[in-house]
Amino acid sequence: MSGWLPFEPDALHEGADPRLAGGRLTIDLAALAANYRLLARQAAPAAVAGVVKADAYGLGAGHVAPVLWDAGCRTFFVALPEEGIALRAILPEADIFVLNGLFGPEAAPAYGEYRLLPVLGSPTDLSCWEAFGWDDDAPRPCAIHVDTGMNRLGLTPEEAVAFAEENALTGAITPRLLMSHLACAGDPDHPLSRRQLESFQAVRQAFSGIDSSLANSSGTFLCADFAFDLVRPGIALYGGRPVNGAANPMKTVVTAEARVMQVRQAKAGER
């Protein structure tokens, strides 16, 4: 063994040493910032949040979030409270919404401690946040998620309106955002988007003075009626094509390369 050259890991690279790696994933953070700016122009005058759930779609929230912040992003969406806690350490001033809502009364204190804003999407979520008090006068800020046709998460429109009327009297919690999620916005002609818009607009009447948000990446490229106060792109930030069947206006952020192990010539019929 004594004749072997020492192997010195390359400190510039994370993960496997590039000399040993079977592949390489390159994340272009300048392209990410350019995509944020393109979405900001597209959505204006609405603001643009950054959806960084699932570790920023696998690109590394710790790398992605500060770049978005520097590009002007002040509102972030994660899926899990743990992701929110990690993001809080990086972005002390950001508004951080947790899409999956509250994980029951035992989880609520973490939202208070790390100033995470739960996206409340069920009557259980609502009563849990109402009952939670880390301080009696605390405002309990949150978002209210209403399901307008995706059938995934959220209050029914009827539940949302009933909540708004009751909460206007009690003031138990402080909605900062009313939101819903589009199911088919990638197909610009899909009739469901218009129906979701109309349902959302009807619910908004009950939430006057509260910001609204409906559009994901694809929705940001529908007509301006869908933008409201805040759009919530994820995949387009990371270079994904927002509109099916149209050219992709986003810059490429992710490049995957793999080693070609060997190239061989084989005659027809050979195994």
Ligand X SMILES: *Cc1c(COP(=O)(O)O)cnc(C)c1O
Contact set with ligand X (CB under 6 A)? 51, 53, 99, 181, 216-217, 232-236
Using CA atoms, how far apart are residues 60 and 82, in angstroms rounded to an integer?
14
Q: Which is nearer to ligand X, 161 or 215 (CB)?
A: 215
Using CA atoms, how far apart are residues 162 and 103, in angstroms rounded to an integer?
23
Whole-number minimum distance, CB 46 to ligand X, in Å?
14
DSSP 8-class letter at 141: E
Q: Which is nearer to ligand X, 230 or 270 (CB)?
A: 230
Residue 7 pairs in a beta bridge with none
Whole-number minimum distance, CB 26 to ligand X, in Å?
21
Closest CA to 175 of 161, 187, 196, 189: 161
57, 235 Cβ separation under 8 angstroms:
yes
DSSP string computed for 205-220: GGGTTSEEE---HHHH
Whole-number minimum distance, CB 140 to ligand X, in Å?
21
Whole-number minimum distance, CB 188 to ligand X, in Å?
14
Q: Which is nearer to ligand X, 141 or 233 (CB)?
A: 233
**Sign (positive or negative) of CA dihedral 199, 247, 244, 249:** negative
Q: Which is nearer to ligand X, 24 or 188 (CB)?
A: 188
In b/e form, how buried is each residue of 180-196, taking b as 16+ CB within 10 angstroms? bbbbbbbebebeebeeb
Determine the residue with CB nearest ligand X. 234
Residue 24 pairs in a beta bridge with 257
Q: Which is nearer to ligand X, 33 or 250 (CB)?
A: 250
Q: Which is nearer to ligand X, 167 or 213 (CB)?
A: 213
Q: Which is nearer to ligand X, 140 or 232 (CB)?
A: 232
Q: Phi and psi at residue 217, in whole multiples of 5°?
A: -55, -55
Using CA atoms, how far apart are residues 253 and 61, in angstroms rounded to an integer?
14
Whole-number minimum distance, CB 189 to ligand X, in Å?
18
Which residue type, as a one-letter code, is found at position 171?
Answer: G
Whole-number minimum distance, CB 239 to ligand X, in Å?
11
175, 167 Cβ separation under 8 angstroms:
yes
Whole-number minimum distance, CB 74 to ligand X, in Å?
16
